[in-house]
Amino acid sequence: MTLIFSTFFLLLSSLITAQQNYSRPSCGGDTEPFGLYSCNGRASSCRAFLIFKSKPPYDSVPSISNLTSSSSDEIAIANNVTVFSLLKPDTAVVVPLHCSCIDRFYQANASFVLAYSQTYYFVATEIYQGSTTCQGLKFGNRFHELDLRAGLKLHVPLRCACSTTNQARKGVEYLVTYLVGEDDTVLKIGERFNVSKKSVLEANGFQEEDDPNLFPFSTILIPLPIELTSSQIKLPCPSTADRPEKASSRQHVLVDIAKGAGCLTVVIVVVVFAVFLIRKTRAKGMTSKNNKNMIRKWTPPADIRVEIAGMERAVKVFRFEEITKATRRFSSKNRVNGSVFRGTFEKKMKLAVKRTTMDAITEVSILKKIHHFNLVKLEGVCENDGDFYLLFEFMENGSLREWLDKGSRKERRSWRTRIQIALDIANGLHYLHSFTQPAYVHNNINSNNILLNGNLRAKLSNFSLARITERTTAASVSTTNLGGAKGYMSQEAGLVTPKTDVFAFGVVVLELISRKEVVFREGGREVLLSTTMIPTIGNNVESRLTRFLDSKLKEPGKMEFGLQMVKLSAACLNREPEQRPSMGEVVSTLLKIQDCLQKLKPSPLSYGDRDEFEGRTEAETNVEP
C-alpha cells in the first residue's frame, strides 16, 4: 500500500510540475490532442514566443509576420532589425505570439492560402517547420486531404503555451516554442537560451534523469523568466573539433562562415575579399581616383536600411508571345478591369498584365528600387510595337473598392480585417516616405489603387504618378501635383508632399469603416465623403457614428474602435498639412488600436470563428479576381 501511494504521489507531482508532454510529429489519425498543448497554465491567454528559422520565401520581417499573423513591428523589435529587413538564411527569428486557450488547447491563430499540390503535411513541416501539426490542421479546417486545392485558406493553429502556477513560483513568466532541428538535444537547446537542462526537461514532461531523443519538426518548450529577444540566443560558433577533416575545402569554409554568423571569421573574410577586389581593379589599369570612388565610406547604422532600400533588382523581360499565350490573346474572360488582364504563365504562375500605351520607363525605374510587402511587386516588363506591358504579382481579391462593394461575406464584418488593411496601407506609405532613397510620394492613393491578396493583405499599386520628394514633413518641400483622384485630393492642390498621401489615406479610412463611395449624391448634389464625417467629432458623436458606420461593424462593445478610426481619419484630413500626422505616427496609432482589439476575449468557437478565418466551404473560398 505504501509503495502504491508513493508511486501515485510521484506521478501526481510530475504532472503538477510538468508544463506539457513532448510528442513526436505524426500525420496519421484524427484523434485528440491534435498535437497542441493543453490548457493547464495559470492564465487562459498570455504572451508567448516562437523561434522560426528564416528561409526563402519567408526570409524577411514582413513575410514572417504575414505567415504567423504576428505584428511586424514586434518582430522587428524582438530581433533588433527594421520592419523592412531581409534576414540571412537559417536565422533564428523571435516571433512574439498572442497565445489563447481555445477548446482546451493553447494556440496562436494564423492563416495560410494553399498553393498547388500542397498538403497538410507539407504546410505543417515545410512551411511552418513543425510549429503547427497535421492533426491540428485537419481538425481546424474539416477538409479531407483529397479536397485540398490551390487558393483554399486554412486556419493554422500555432503551438504555444502559458506557464503553470508551479512554474510561476519558480520565476518562469514566458514559454518559448522552439522548433527542433536534426542535431538538437535538450542540453544544447538549454545552453542556447541560458536555461538549465532540468528546467527544459521539466517543462516538457520528461523526468530529470531522462536523455530523450528529439525529432525534427517537433517542438519543445523553453521556460524563461523575461521576454525573449534575439540577443539572448547564443549563436553556435563552430569549433575546430567539430569540423570535418577536409575543412580546407572552399565549400566547407563557406558553410562554417554561414553557421558562425557574428563570429570573427566573417570580419576577416570581408576584409580579405575587399582587398582582393581593390587589387583586381588596380590590375585593370583604373586610376587611383576611380578606385577612391569605388570604395564606399562606411554607412552609419541609422542609414543602412535606406541604403538597402535603394538597391535595384533585376526585372524579367517577357516575350510578347508569352504574354499573348498567358492571357489567351487578351481574352475578355481574362480581363480583370480596364487594361489589366489575368495571365497564367509557366508552372501555373498567375500574374496581372497591365497594358499601357504611355512610356512606362518612369514607373518601372521606381518599382525596381522599392521592395516592401505592402507594395505590389513588379515581376516583369514587355514592349511591343510601342505598347508597354507591366507584369505584377496577381492579387486574388482585387481592389479594396471592389472588395467593399461585394456582397455580404462574413469576413467583411470583422474589425480585425479592416484595421489590418488600414495598417498595411499605412506601412506601405511609411516605407515610401521614410525608407526609400530617394523618398517618394505615391500621389494617387485611392481605394482602386489598393489591392488585396488571398489573405486580404493590402498592397499599394499604380505608381505612374509617384513623385520624388525630400525626406521631411515640412509642407514647403514639394513638387508640382499632376494627378490624384477626385475626392482624395487635399486643399493644397498643386503641391505634392508626404502629407498629400496622408490626406488621401484619411479618406480611405472613412471608406473602410463606412463602405460608402468617396463621392456620392445627396439631395441632388455631389457630396465628398471627407466633408460628411468631419462634423462627427463633436456633439452627439455616438449617434452620428452609428449612422455613419457600416452596419456589419456595429458589434456590441466595439463601437469604440469606430470612434478611434474616425479620430485618426480626422487628423489626417486636417486642412493644415503641417498639422497632419506623419505616416510613422499613423502606423503607431493603428498598432495601438490593433493591440486593444487583440486583447478582447477570443470567441469560444475556436476553429469555427468564421469572422477571422474564411475557407470553411468551397463556395466561400472560390474568390474571383
User: pLDDT of 71-117, one tens digit each?
Assistant: 888 998 999 888 777 888 889 999 999 999 988 889 999 999 998 77
Instruction: With H, G, I as helix, E, B as strand and everything else as coil, classify residue 157.
Output: strand
At residue 356, φ and ψ (nearest 5 deg) are -145, 145
Q: How far apart are the first and last CA of the chain?
A: 71
Q: Please report which helix (H) or strand (E) contains residue 356, including its range.
A: strand 350-356
| Residue-by-residue DSSP string for 283-298 | HTT--HHHHHHHSPPP
Average pLDDT (292-297) is: 35
CA triple 107-111-113, angle to 5 deg: 150
Number of continuous H segments (helices) and E segments (strands) in the chain: 22, 20
Say if residues 343 and 350 touch (Cβ distance below 8 Å): yes
β-pairing verdict for 439-441 and 467-469: antiparallel
Instruction: With H, G, I as helix, E, B as strand and everything else as coil, classify residue 106.
Output: strand
pLDDT above 50: residue 487:
yes
Q: Provide CB contacts within 8 A for 327, sequence distance 6+.
A: 334, 341, 342, 343, 353
pLDDT above 80: residue 493:
no
- CB burial of residue 122 (10 Å; 0-12, 13-18, 19+): middle
At 34-56, the pLDDT tens digits run 678 889 888 889 999 999 999 98
- Domain 316-393: CATH superfamily is Phosphorylase Kinase; domain 1 (3.30.200.20)
pTM of the model: 0.51
| 222-251 exposure pattern, b = at least 16 Cβ within 10 A, e = fewer | bbbeeebebeebeeeebeeeeeeeeeeeee
Assign residue 294 a region (left: φ > 0; alpha: ψ between -120 and 50; beta: otherwise). alpha
Q: What is the mean pLDDT of the chain?
A: 76
Sign of CA dihedral 138, 143, 146, 152: negative
At 312-344, the pLDDT tens digits run 566 788 999 999 999 999 998 999 988 899 999
Q: Which three cell numbers stand for residue 434?
A: 521614410
Q: Please report which helix (H) or strand (E) contains residue 335, including its range.
A: strand 335-337
pLDDT above 90: residue 403:
yes
The CA–CA distances, whole Å, from 69 to 72, 329, 513 equal: 9, 39, 22
Q: What pLDDT is attached to residue 433? A: 94
Which alpha helices (DSSP H) does 142-294 contain, by range?
A: 165-169, 186-192, 197-203, 250-259, 264-283, 288-294
User: Please, which contacts does 164-171 make with residues 24 or more away whose CB atoms are closer than 8 Å?
Assistant: 164/16, 164/19, 164/40, 164/41, 164/42, 165/42, 166/16, 166/17, 167/19, 167/203, 167/223, 168/42, 170/199, 171/225
* The 316-317 sheet, strands edge to edge: 316-317, 378-384, 387-393, 350-356, 340-344, 335-337
Q: What pLDDT is attached to residue 214? A: 84
Average pLDDT (474-496) is: 64
CA dihedral of residues 200, 202, 204, 206 (deg, nearest 10): 110
Return the minimum-mean-pLDDT range out of 56-65, 204-213, 296-305, 354-363: 296-305
Residue with cell 496581372: 352
Q: E strands along 406-457, which residues? A: 439-441, 450-452
Residue 559's Cα: distance from chain center in Å?
Answer: 27
Residue 417's Cα: distance from chain center in Å?
Answer: 14
Average pLDDT (130-142) is: 87
Calculate what percentage of the chain has a pLDDT beyond 90. Answer: 33
β-pairing verdict for 519-522 and 525-528: antiparallel
| 261-293 exposure pattern, b = at least 16 Cβ within 10 A, e = fewer | eeeebeeeeeeeeeeeeeeeeeeeeeeeeeeee
Q: Which CATH number fits domain 400-534+548-608: 3.40.190.10, 3.30.420.40, 1.10.3720.10, 1.10.510.10?
A: 1.10.510.10
Q: What pLDDT is attached to residue 102? A: 87
Say if residues 526 and 439 touch (Cβ distance below 8 Å): no
Q: Which three cell numbers stand for residue 526?
A: 455631389
Rounded distance, CA 168 to CA 621, Å?
43
Q: What pLDDT is attached to residue 447? A: 95
Q: How many CA atoms lie within 13 A of 520 on its CB side?
A: 11
Q: Which three cell numbers stand for residue 556?
A: 456590441
- CB burial of residue 206 (10 Å; 0-12, 13-18, 19+): buried
At residue 430, φ and ψ (nearest 5 deg) are -60, -40
Q: What pLDDT is attached to residue 359? A: 59
pLDDT above 80: residue 218:
yes
What's the pLDDT band for 539 if we cut at 50, 70, 90? low
Average pLDDT (496-525) is: 89
Which has more pLDDT, 429 or 464?
429
AA identity, residue 464: S
Q: Please report which helix (H) or strand (E) contains residue 459, including its range.
A: strand 458-460
Say if residues 547 and 559 touch (Cβ distance below 8 Å): no
pLDDT above 50: residue 266:
no
For the chain, domain boundaries: 19-232, 240-295, 316-393, 400-534+548-608
Gyration radius of the chain's alpha carbons:
27
